[in-house]
Amino acid sequence: MGDQSRSDGGTRSGAARGAADQQRQTYAVEPVELFFDLVFVFGIFQLTSQLLHHLSVRGAAETGVLLLAVFTVWYYTSWEATLVRIERARTTAMVLAVMFFGLFMNAAVTHAFEGSGWDFVAPFLLVQLGRGLWTLLNVEGEIWRDHYRRTLLWLLASTPVWVVGAAADPEHRLYWWAVAAGLDLCGTWLGHPLPGRALHSVSVAGAESGHMLERCRLFLLLALGGTVLSTGLAIAAVPLTALTVVTGSAALLVTVALWLLAFGGVGRLVVRHVEETHDPIYATRMAGNVLTVMVAGLVAMATAFEMVIHHPHGRPSATLSLLLFGGSILFLLAQSWYARAVPRIKPWHWLIASAALALVGAAAGVLAQPYLALLAAAVALITAATVVTRSATGHT
């Protein structure tokens, strides 16, 4: 009996290890996917440059519209490559084709609202419509085919608005593109419904959701890397003084705090939830929705880092404070919403940290020179990241 029990235990243990190995293999991201992501790290850098050179309410709105378009291309392509399986040659070819057009689309970000809008819109629409049709022809399962029929219809609905905006004069382009980006965003967040037809994700839950969650996590990591790149380039562009070291170090510490927030205890809870929930695709879809807001926060903060490193002295700046602390709050609130909606964690620590950052930011915008505002943000965010991570660890 003892030998038999040990044998059964060993069999069960081996089966569990085999299941875990298979799951890890399913979640593994292929090199071509990371290669594809590099074009969108460039896109994030371009968005930061766009905002830095257009520091106004209108400039922020323009950057937001472009961010929605750029992120939509990355997100849709990543999901569709996951569903059709990236290791297939035809899927790899599709991803590389999107990468090609995406390079030119992202290169056009900084002048999309100056002169012709076709440099940005032409590759954007070629990717959206071409990839949408490709997916409809290649995805397996009637549920997914029906979903991508509806997705293509939503994309076709927003296409004329993008086209009119590209043809319009630059002064009015923002209004047209804001409507088009809003339509695309609503489609993404709602799952592209039509009357009587919608995606019931629980009915198609599968291993691909874990893979897509890993894609979102790695994209956030690359977006943090883009923030480091912006910081490094800003340091390289100015004389290396003691204050440059201080401001560069503070910017890096802020980025480290954001990394800890994203990949500390909360990140582990989310991964475990996706493995255990009966509807992992819902959890992954929500991750994509929240990621848009988190990346917007990173773009704002990267812009603030460059401003401080280039001009550490000067008068207190409400604009700088809004970018630095407002971007941090966007990041925290987006994560708190996801923690509440998916692993069902009460978001009190995030909300308290956000309120504290708002108070510090308001004071910094009135009283502090730029380098002091950045130091205050670093202290506040490191504290917030430590508290939130310890809180989340208590749920594991």
Are 52 and 307 in contact by the 8 Å Cβ rule? The answer is: yes
Torsion of Cα atoms, 235 then 238 then 240 then 243, to 10°: -80
> Cα(84)–Cα(44) distance, rounded to whole angstroms?
26
Are 301 and 349 in contact by the 8 Å Cβ rule? The answer is: no
CA angle 65, 172, 124 (to 5 degrees): 40
> Cα(293)–Cα(288) distance, rounded to whole angstroms?
9
DSSP at 30: P
User: pLDDT 10s per residue in the chain (396 long)?
Assistant: 344 433 444 443 444 344 444 444 456 788 899 999 999 999 999 999 999 999 999 999 999 999 999 999 999 999 899 888 877 889 999 999 999 999 999 999 999 999 889 999 999 999 999 999 999 998 887 888 888 899 999 999 999 999 999 999 999 999 999 999 999 999 888 888 888 776 655 455 555 777 888 888 889 998 999 899 999 999 999 999 999 999 999 999 999 999 998 887 666 677 676 666 666 777 778 888 899 999 999 999 999 999 999 999 988 889 999 999 999 999 999 988 888 877 777 878 889 999 999 999 999 888 889 999 999 999 999 998 888 887 766 555
- Mention every residue, 6+ apart, whose C-beta is less than 8 A from residue 337: 290, 347
Are 242 and 299 in contact by the 8 Å Cβ rule? The answer is: no
pTM: 0.86
> Cα(191)–Cα(147) distance, rounded to whole angstroms?
8
> Cα(336)–Cα(317) distance, rounded to whole angstroms?
28
CA proximity to 370, closest of 328, 311, 327, 330: 311
Are 338 and 74 in contact by the 8 Å Cβ rule? The answer is: no
2's torsion region: left (phi>0), alpha (psi -120 to 50) or beta?
A: alpha
> Cα(129)–Cα(395) distance, rounded to whole angstroms?
43
Are 12 and 65 in contact by the 8 Å Cβ rule? The answer is: no
- For 2, the token pair is 């003892």
Instruction: Spell out the domains of the chain, with CATH numbers in brackets.
Output: 30-199 (no CATH), 206-396 (1.20.1410)
Q: How far from 219 is each of 33, 35, 78, 215, 342, CA to CA, in Å?
A: 10, 11, 10, 6, 19
> Cα(215)–Cα(27) distance, rounded to whole angstroms?
9
Q: Which residues are paired to 197 by β-bridges?
A: 194
CA proximity to 356, closest of 339, 379, 390: 379
Give buried/exposed letters for 251-290 (b at 16+ CB in 10 A, else e): bbbbbbbbbbbbbbbbbbbbbebbeebebbbbbbbbbbbb
